[in-house]
Structure 1
Amino acid sequence: MSPTTNVQEDRRSSGLASAEERHLRIKKDLHQKLISEMDLSTIGSLSESEIRDEIRRGAEQLCLRHDDLLSLTEREQLIEEVLDETFGIGPLEGLMRDPTVSDILVNGPKVVYVERGGRLTKTDVVFNDEKHLVEIVRRIVGRVGRRIDETSPLCDARLADGSRVNAVIPPLALDGTLLSIRRAGKSPLLTQDLIEKRAITQEMVDFLAACIKGRVNMVISGGTGSGKTTLLNALSAFIPEDERVATIEDAAELRLQQPHVVRMETRPPNIEGEGAIGTRELVKNALRMRPDRIVVGECRGSETLDMLQAMNTGHDGSMTTIHANDTRDAIGRMEMMVGMAGFDLPIWIIRRQIASAVQIIVQAARLSGGVRRIIKISEIVGMEEEVVSMHDLFVFKQTGVDGTRAAQGYHYCTGVRPKCLERLEEAGLGLAPELFESRILTSRPQAEPPSDAEEPRNGDRLWGLFGRGKGEGTP
Structure 2
Amino acid sequence: MITIESRQPDGQFADYLISKTAVIGAEAASPIPLPAAAGKGALRLTVDAEGGASVIDLASLAGVFVNGERIVRYGPLRVDDAIMVGGQHLRVKAVGLARAAEPVKPSLCDPATPAAAAQAPLQPGEEPRGGARSDAARALHLALSRNAEVLHAELIQTLDLRRQDVTRMGDTELRGVADKLIRELMAKVTLPAVTDPDELARFVLDEAVGLGVLESLLADDSVTEIMVNGAQDIFVERDGQTRRSDIAFSSEKALMGVIERIVSPIGRRVDESSPLCDGRLKDGSRVNIAIRPIALKGPAVSIRKFAKRRLGVADLVKFDSVDVAMVAFLRICVEQKKNIVISGGTGSGKTTLLNIISNLIPPYERIVTIEDAAELKLYHDNLVTLEARPANVEGRGQITIRELVKNALRMRPDRIVVGECRGGEALDMLQAMNTGHDGSLTTAHANSPRDMLSRLEVMVMMGGMELPVMAIREQVASAVQIIVQQTRFACGTRKVTSITEITGMERGVIQMQEIYRFQRLGFYDNGKVRGQFVPCGNVPTFYEELRGFGIDIDLTTFGVDGAVAAGQAGHG
**Does the 8 Å contact 2:174/2:209 carry over to 1?**
no
Higher RCO structure (Cα 8 Å, ≥6 apart): 1
- Give RMSD over aligned pairs: 2.4
**Does the 8 Å contact 1:381/1:389 carry over to 2?**
yes
Moved over 6 A (4+): 42-46
Secondary structure in 1 matching 2:532:
strand
Pair 1:18–1:320, CA change in 2 (3 A): closer
The equivalent residue for 2:553 is 431
After superposing the two structures, state which structure 1 stretch, 244-253 or 22-31, moved more.
Answer: 22-31
Question: What is the letter of the counterpart of residue 86 of structure 1?
Answer: A
After superposing the two structures, state which structure 1 stretch, 238-247 or 86-95, moved more.
Answer: 86-95
Is 1:149 the counterpart of 2:271? The answer is yes
**Does the 8 Å contact 1:188/1:230 carry over to 2?**
no
Instruction: Name the TM-score, length of structure 1 as normaliser.
Output: 0.86
The equivalent residue for 2:423 is 301
The equivalent residue for 2:526 is 404
After superposing the two structures, state which structure 1 stretch, 34-43 or 160-169, moved more.
Answer: 34-43
Pair 1:126–1:382, CA change in 2 (3 A): same
* Matches of 2:270 and 2:401, distance apart in 1: 21
Greater C-alpha radius of gyration: 2
The equivalent residue for 1:445 is none
* Matches of 1:68 and 1:211, distance apart in 2: 63
What do the CA deviations read for 1:66-111 (whole angstroms, capped 9, x no partner)?
345345x521111001110122111222111111111000112221
User: Is there any run of 5+ residues in structure 2 with no aligned partner, and where?
Assistant: 1-46, 52-111, 114-137
**Does the 8 Å contact 1:104/1:180 carry over to 2?**
yes
Is 1:63 the counterpart of 2:158? The answer is no
What do the CA deviations read for 1:425-448 (whole angstroms, capped 9, x no partner)?
334433122221259xxxxxxxxx
**Does the 8 Å contact 1:369/1:404 carry over to 2?**
no
Question: What is the letter of the counterpart of residue 112 of structure 1?
Answer: I
Is 1:284 the counterpart of 2:379? The answer is no
What do the CA deviations read for 1:160-199 (whole angstroms, capped 9, x no partner)?
1101111111221122222101000112310000101110
Question: What is the letter of the counterpart of residue 153 of structure 2?
Answer: Q
Tell me how many residue pairs correspond in the alignment: 438
Question: What is the letter of the counterpart of residue 369 of structure 1?
Answer: C
Secondary structure in 2 matching 1:410:
strand
Pair 1:346–1:194, CA change in 2 (3 A): same
After superposing the two structures, state which structure 1 stretch, 332-341 or 24-33, moved more.
Answer: 24-33
* Matches of 1:403 and 1:321, distance apart in 2: 33
**Does the 8 Å contact 1:95/1:101 carry over to 2?**
yes
The equivalent residue for 1:29 is 150
What do the CA deviations read for 1:269-324 (whole angstroms, capped 9, x no partner)?
11111211101111100000111111111001000000000000010111111111
What do the CA deviations read for 1:311-369 (whole angstroms, capped 9, x no partner)?
00010111111111011111010011111111121111111111100111100010121
After superposing the two structures, state which structure 1 stretch, 273-282 or 234-243, moved more.
Answer: 234-243
**Does the 8 Å contact 1:210/1:424 carry over to 2?**
no
Question: What is the letter of the counterpart of residue 393 of structure 1?
Answer: I
* Matches of 2:285 and 2:489, distance apart in 1: 23
**Does the 8 Å contact 1:236/1:257 carry over to 2?**
no
* Matches of 2:282 and 2:400, distance apart in 1: 21
Secondary structure in 1 matching 2:243:
strand
Pair 1:260–1:429, CA change in 2 (3 A): farther
What do the CA deviations read for 1:5-38 (whole angstroms, capped 9, x no partner)?
xxxxx99955248866653343233223333444
**Does the 8 Å contact 1:214/1:427 carry over to 2?**
no
- Map residues 38-77 of structure 1 onto 2, 5 A cutoff: 38=159, 39-40=162-163, 48-67=171-190, 69-71=192-194, 74-77=196-199
After superposing the two structures, state which structure 1 stretch, 423-432 or 100-109, moved more.
Answer: 423-432
Q: Which has the higher helix share?
A: 1
Give the deviation of 1:50 after TM superposition: 4.4
What do the CA deviations read for 1:28-75 (whole angstroms, capped 9, x no partner)?
33223333444555868875434433433332233233345345x521
* Matches of 1:118 and 1:235, distance apart in 2: 22
* Matches of 2:295 and 2:330, distance apart in 1: 42
User: Is there any run of 5+ residues in structure 1 with no aligned partner, and where?
Assistant: 1-9, 440-466
The equivalent residue for 2:203 is 81
